[in-house]
């Protein structure tokens, strides 16, 4: 009895403590401060996931640390600014590039004053770029975008170990780099904006094939704390400023010359950047509320926090949101019944309640309904009003869906419901992670109205099944793919070209372009499926510009109307910033918040 009374007393005490501390947090919600911000201060960021591959810029492309590479650590030859009429190129380390008329030769003149930071502390030269490309193309590096550089003349031979150097790379002088391609590649120049093409000093390449990221030498306004203590010639200990799984600290790079940097030279406001690694989005949200963190890099803020901030006028200014060139979708394999019938696929597109999906992802701050396969941003917004399966409030249209289904061979009585045996037990793979699981169930519930009984299977390793066409998986949901903000080729090819079918290639799960013998070999009853290979190849060959954009727009419409996907939503990047942040501008060059342009309140 006494024990029960004591426990009750303890419980009540806790509850009273909680009740007494009502309100939104330990700090007053004042929204964005109105005091004038000065350069200075420490920008405090949070990263949910640590770097892969020891933060090697050639071996990983995750949001953290790539966003920090772009703004603060690694300069590249050029940067790309997306525009509706086609991207424009801004010289970063290089002056404006000179391109030959046939698009096969490029000449880059490196700017004066561009130097490697400590411990190298010398000018960046053309030879450094040659060494960097060689490292990227070396199979031992496992560079994520080595394929982008294989169009350089001699690159294939070098990568195969048949040549000691890449014949298409020349350095006629220390500050001039010439690149010759073996074939026209419209995206070669914009691909040089990738951090994997940022110069790496050869002095630190030796012995760091797997862990260069821990010895990262900066060319930007900041450097990893402690990198100046690395002994280049002797026993090398990693820079102390990066503690795997814990934190990354950036400090000002003394070797950076503002005058040589047209992109960042006017900025570099914070004195330092401290990144906490490994916390959860909920943890970071609370810290932002208390002003102990300025923003998170990766991960989406909790839905509850987004709701609170977006509905409170005093806090709305602290929400930064931008569209991305990434789309989330469900796939329907065109060879697998009942989706081998276009009417069934179109009926599915009519019935799915996309507004429910938006609610499940936490609202319009996290995404906008997608109406076609290529993200709007990637085609310059040309199809912003194109909605071939548009419904009132994006809630789905059962009538239209049933009309479509009635035309299908799988609806024998024409009542608008799929009634063939193939309509039951249709497997849909999904992710067990939230909200993927909820989205899968929501779609499955919608499809019931047109007679499709979906068997939702949520698997961590679903892509191992999807990559093997002989598994004949009919549907996959909550898949995502992104592309460059100026061009949808990174979606078009890998997701719809026949070259990318199967485990040896990935990721054309819908099997567009599969040959009859392939289909037979995988056990499909269908002996032919549509193909868009020729359209993709035609668009891909065109130089960047209006003609290429128009080509992608037409292809987008064709694939959308084939209904091989259910485009669900286009992702947005949404972040909440603390009250210490006076300004957090979005950079079209980095496609993220420009951390070097963030100005902090002197009161913070």
Least distance between other proteins and beta carbon 246 (Å): 4
Q: Is the dihedral of CA 62, 232, 257, 135 positive or negative?
A: negative
Q: Which stretch binds other proteins (CB under 8 A): 185-193, 315-323, 472-480, 504-512?
A: 504-512
Distance CA 219, CA 57 (A): 13
Contacts (Cβ under 8 Å, ≥6 apart) of 505: 499
State which of positions 182-241 bind other proteins (CB under 8 A): 210-211, 214, 225, 241
Distance CA 350, CA 449 (A): 11
Count the site residues for other proteins by CB under 8 A: 56
DSSP string, 52-85: SGGG-TTT---HHHHHHIIIII---SEEEE--TT
Structure tokens at 594: 């420009």
Q: Which stretch binds other proteins (CB under 8 A): 21-29, 310-318, 357-365, 423-431?
A: 21-29
Distance CA 425, CA 508 (A): 23
What order of strands is seen across the sheet that includes strand 98-99?
98-99, 105-109, 176-180, 169-173
| Residue 246 sits in the site that holds other proteins (CB under 8 A) | yes
Looking at the Cβ atoms of 241 and 567, the one nearer to other proteins is 241
- Residues linked to residue 574 through DSSP beta bridges, in sequence order: 321
| Residue 576 sits in the site that holds other proteins (CB under 8 A) | no
Structure tokens at 393: 């409030």
Q: How far is CA 48 from CA 64, 206, 227, 297, in A?
A: 9, 31, 24, 8
| Residue 308 sits in the site that holds other proteins (CB under 8 A) | no
Least distance between other proteins and beta carbon 282 (Å): 9
State which of positions 149-168 bind other proteins (CB under 8 A): 159-160
Binding mask 25-64 for other proteins (x = CB under 8 A): xx-----------------------xxxxx-x--x-----
Which residue in the set 503, 516, 521, 543 belongs to the binding site for other proteins (CB under 8 A)?
A: 503
Least distance between other proteins and beta carbon 51 (Å): 7
| Residue 464 sits in the site that holds other proteins (CB under 8 A) | yes
Looking at the Cβ atoms of 142 and 533, the one nearer to other proteins is 142
First to last CA, the chain: 52
Which residue in the set 101, 313, 385, 504 belongs to the binding site for other proteins (CB under 8 A)?
A: 504
Q: Are 352 and 401 in contact (CB under 8 A)?
A: no
The residue among 572, 48, 585, 29 whose CA lies nearest residue 284 is: 48
Looking at the Cβ atoms of 245 and 421, the one nearer to other proteins is 245
**Could you tell me how many residues make up the chain?**
604
| Residue 297 sits in the site that holds other proteins (CB under 8 A) | no
Distance CA 290, CA 273 (A): 18
| Residue 538 sits in the site that holds other proteins (CB under 8 A) | no
Least distance between other proteins and beta carbon 566 (Å): 26
Q: Which stretch binds other proteins (CB under 8 A): 6-14, 33-41, 298-306, 535-543?
A: 6-14
Q: How far is CA 146 from CA 59, 67, 206, 591, in A?
A: 10, 20, 19, 22
Q: Which stretch binds other proteins (CB under 8 A): 101-109, 385-393, 434-442, 497-505?
A: 497-505
Binding mask 258-277 for other proteins (x = CB under 8 A): ----------------x-xx
Which residue in the set 29, 153, 283, 323 belongs to the binding site for other proteins (CB under 8 A)?
A: 283
Distance CA 156, CA 258 (A): 38
Distance CA 346, CA 62 (A): 35
Q: Which stretch binds other proteins (CB under 8 A): 98-106, 115-123, 285-293, 333-341?
A: 285-293
DSSP 209: T
Q: Which stretch binds other proteins (CB under 8 A): 140-148, 308-316, 402-410, 419-427?
A: 140-148
Q: Are 526 and 422 in contact (CB under 8 A)?
A: no
Which residue in the set 43, 146, 336, 594 belongs to the binding site for other proteins (CB under 8 A)?
A: 146
Which residue in the set 113, 278, 388, 588 belongs to the binding site for other proteins (CB under 8 A)?
A: 278
Which residue in the set 90, 171, 232, 247 belongs to the binding site for other proteins (CB under 8 A)?
A: 247
| Residue 72 sits in the site that holds other proteins (CB under 8 A) | no
Distance CA 492, CA 510 (A): 13
Q: Contact residues for other proteins (CB under 8 A)?
A: 2-3, 6-7, 10, 14, 17-18, 21, 25-26, 50-54, 56, 59, 139-140, 142-144, 146, 159-160, 210-211, 214, 225, 241, 243-249, 274, 276-280, 283, 286-287, 289-290, 292, 461, 464, 503-506
């Amino acid at each position: 009895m006494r024990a029960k009374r004591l426990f009750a007393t303890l419980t009540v005490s806790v509850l009273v403590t909680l009740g007494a501390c009502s309100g939104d947090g330990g700090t007053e919600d004042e929204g964005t401060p109105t005091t004038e911000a000065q350069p200075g201060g420490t920008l405090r960021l949070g990263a949910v996931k640590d770097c892969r591959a020891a933060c090697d810029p050639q071996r990983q492309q995750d949001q953290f640390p790539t966003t920090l590479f772009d703004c603060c650590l690694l300069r590249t030859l050029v940067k790309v600014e997306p525009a509706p009429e086609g991207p424009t190129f801004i010289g970063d380390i290089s002056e404006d590039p000179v391109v030959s008329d046939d698009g096969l030769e490029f000449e880059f003149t490196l700017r004066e004053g561009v130097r490697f930071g400590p411990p190298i502390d010398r000018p960046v030269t053309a030879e450094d770029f040659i060494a960097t490309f060689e490292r990227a193309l070396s199979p031992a590096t496992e560079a994520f975008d080595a394929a982008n550089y294989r169009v350089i003349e001699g690159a294939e031979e070098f990568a195969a170990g048949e040549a000691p150097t890449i014949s298409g790379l020349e350095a006629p002088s220390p500050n001039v780099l010439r690149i010759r391609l073996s074939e026209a590649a419209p995206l070669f120049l914009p691909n040089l904006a990738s951090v994997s093409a940022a110069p790496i000093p050869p002095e630190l390449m030796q012995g760091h094939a797997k862990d260069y990221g821990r010895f990262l030498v900066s060319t930007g306004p900041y450097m990893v704390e402690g990198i100046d203590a690395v002994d280049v010639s002797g026993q090398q200990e990693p820079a102390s400023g990066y503690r795997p799984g814990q934190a990354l600290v950036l400090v000002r790079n003394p070797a950076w010359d503002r005058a040589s940097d047209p992109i960042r030279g006017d900025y570099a406001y914070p004195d330092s950047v401290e990144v906490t690694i490994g916390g959860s989005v909920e943890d970071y949200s609370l810290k932002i509320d208390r002003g102990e963190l300025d923003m998170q890099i990766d991960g989406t803020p909790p839905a509850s926090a987004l709701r609170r901030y977006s509905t409170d006028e005093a806090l709305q200014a602290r929400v930064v949101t931008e569209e991305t060139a990434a789309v989330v979708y469900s796939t329907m394999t065109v060879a697998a019944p009942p989706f081998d019938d276009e009417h069934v696929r179109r009926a599915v597109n009519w019935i799915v309640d996309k507004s429910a999906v938006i609610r499940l992802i936490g609202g319009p701050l996290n995404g906008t309904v997608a109406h076609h396969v290529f993200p709007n941003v990637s085609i310059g917004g040309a199809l912003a009003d194109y909605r071939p399966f548009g419904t009132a409030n994006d809630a789905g249209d059962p009538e239209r869906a049933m009309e479509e289904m009635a035309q299908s061979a799988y609806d024998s009585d024409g009542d608008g419901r799929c009634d063939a045996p193939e309509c039951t037990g249709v497997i849909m793979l999904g992710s067990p992670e939230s909200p993927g699981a909820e989205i899968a169930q929501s779609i499955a519930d919608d499809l019931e109205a047109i007679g499709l009984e979906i068997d939702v299977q949520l698997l961590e390793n679903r892509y191992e099944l999807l990559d093997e066409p002989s598994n004949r998986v009919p549907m996959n949901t909550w898949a995502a793919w992104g592309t460059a903000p100026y061009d949808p080729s990174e979606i078009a090819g890998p997701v719809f070209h026949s070259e990318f079918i199967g485990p040896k290639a990935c990721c054309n799960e819908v099997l567009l372009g599969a040959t009859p013998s392939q289909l037979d070999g995988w056990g499909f009853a269908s002996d032919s499926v549509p193909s868009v290979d020729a359209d993709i190849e035609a668009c891909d060959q065109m130089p960047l510009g209006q003609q290429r954009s128009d080509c992608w727009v037409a292809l987008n419409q064709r694939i959308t109307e084939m209904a091989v996907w259910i485009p669900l939503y286009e992702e947005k990047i949404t972040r909440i910033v603390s009250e210490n942040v006076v300004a957090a501008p979005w950079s079209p060059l980095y496609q993220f918040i420009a951390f070097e342009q963030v100005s902090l309140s002197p009161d913070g």
